[in-house]
A and B are shown apart, each in its own frame.
Chain A
Amino acid sequence: MSLGRLQQEEHIRHILDTYGDLMYRMSFSIVGNASDAEDMVQDTLLTYVSEAPSFPDEAHEKQWLVKVVRNNSLMLIRKQKNRERILSEQARVSVGTDADYGIMDVLRTLPEKYRTVLVLFYVEEYTVEEIAKVLRKGVSAVKMRLQRGRKMLSERYKENGR
């Protein structure tokens, strides 16, 4: 194996260790099952390798990865819209306990724009400004989505008797 290849492997491993879970969760919140989410992480890294983008710093690199994994996941959903029923079953299998899939099921009933914002804010602990940059939306739009998403999540969670 050449030195360049070794360096690339090290770099990809570093990205996987640092941002792998972030990309996986982001994708999971959209596609709703583990195997597709893994595939989306893989596709994103393949794009990363093939396009070899350059970034001024790690923050930009992270933003790029989040954007691309989100877009890839949305594209997958668009292509396979008629698999809603299957997703529901797969999500239950892949997440684990009853309590877990309860909230995940509720999350998946939300429109994607709210899901993404909620996951970035509550799970990945992004600031509103950071989310606005990733989604290329205004800060006020992100706040609005956050507010509505939180409300919808809470209401639907209660409706389900959780």
Chain B
Amino acid sequence: MKAEEQLKQSMQELHLSTEAKNRILATVVSAPAAPEKRKKPFYCSKVFTRIAGAAAAVIVVVCVLTAVSRMTGVTKGKDESAASAPYEQEGMRGESQAAEIMPSYTIAFSVNVKADPAVESNVYSPGDPVDSKTDVTDNTEKKHYRLFGWATEKDYYLSYQREDSPGTSYYAVQKEESGNNSDISFATQISLAFALQKKMDEDYPAGTCYILSVSEALGVYTVKFRYTETVETAGVYIYSESGIPATGRNFTAVVSKDPVTAGLKVDSIKEH
């Protein structure tokens, strides 16, 4: 029998028992019903709608002006920094390339992975030999990393192995398809994850950073992450939908762009 047929047969044997149905029914029916929505008086709702509309219009204008002024500032900053250090930040979709320089730890890396739908991401575990490879050099510590990268339609998987101490500085970055922060590029998230991992390596036992969320304001990133102490899976993971352990130590880090080198700098890490 084919696997699909076996699956169908087995699944169709699964039924909610009458007992379970009765239990569910009793629980659900005894739950309080949704409160009725109160109707607003016509006059008030009309007036408030107009006031709210006017307020929203003002807010939109202010936001647009702020955004324009901020964009002008950022562009200027980038132009200035470009002369002193190469800095490139692009999404890593398709045949894209991303390069980041981080001043404190300066893991300069470039990735050139083709989005190949034929590559089955789930076949691999981080560290497996894969199709696209390139070398990575840590410019500050002069340590040599080997980068493995592969991609599917939407996911990118990267793993880094430090060749001088295999097994101790293993990094993996993974993005699941819905992404935890669609407005922050994956390249930036990778850089943030690396910066955090390096910092954590200095101050905490070997472990894994799970990036929970990243927000950005005026070039300062606030990164919330969970840290689990485990040597076996030490690395960096950017997760969105699943895979975040239920237990672990929660931290918030503030990371900013270094105005001189245009890299990333971990300003503070607080446990909470």
The chain A residues found within 8 Å of chain B, CB to CB, are 4-5, 8-9, 12-13, 16-17, 20-21, 24-25, 28-29, 38, 41-42, 45-46, 48-52, 74, 77-82, 95-96, 99-100, 102-104, 106-107, 110-113, 118-119, 122-123, 141, 144, 148, 150, 152-154, 157-158, 162
Q: Decide yes or no whether B2 CB sits under 8 A from chain A.
A: yes
Answer whether residue B245 sits at the interface, using C-beta atoms and an 8 A cutoff. Answer: yes
Total interface residues on B, CB under 8 Å, equals 37
In the assembled complex, how far is the CB of residue A101 from the closest CB belonging to chain B, in whole angstroms?
Answer: 8
- Partner of A45 from the list B10, B28, B153 (CB cut-off 8 Å) is B28
Least Cβ distance of A94 to chain B in Å?
Answer: 9
B20 surroundings in chain A (CB, below 8 A): 38
Task: For A78, give the chain B residue with the smallest CB separation.
Answer: B242
Q: How far is the CA of A27 from the CA of B177 in the complex (A)?
A: 21
11 further A-B pairs in the complex, CB-CB below 8 A; given A24-B16, A50-B33 = A20-B24, A28-B11, A38-B20, A41-B24, A42-B23, A49-B31, A50-B31, A74-B241, A80-B246, A81-B244, A118-B4
In the assembled complex, the CB of B112 is this many whole angstroms from the nearest CB of chain A, namely 24
Chain B residues closer than 8 Å to A110, beta-carbon distance: 122
Q: Which residues of A contact B33 (CB under 8 A)?
A: 4, 8, 49-50, 52
- Interface hits, B88-143 → A, CB 8 Å: 117, 120, 122
- Which residue of chain A is the closest to B24 with respect to CB atoms? A42
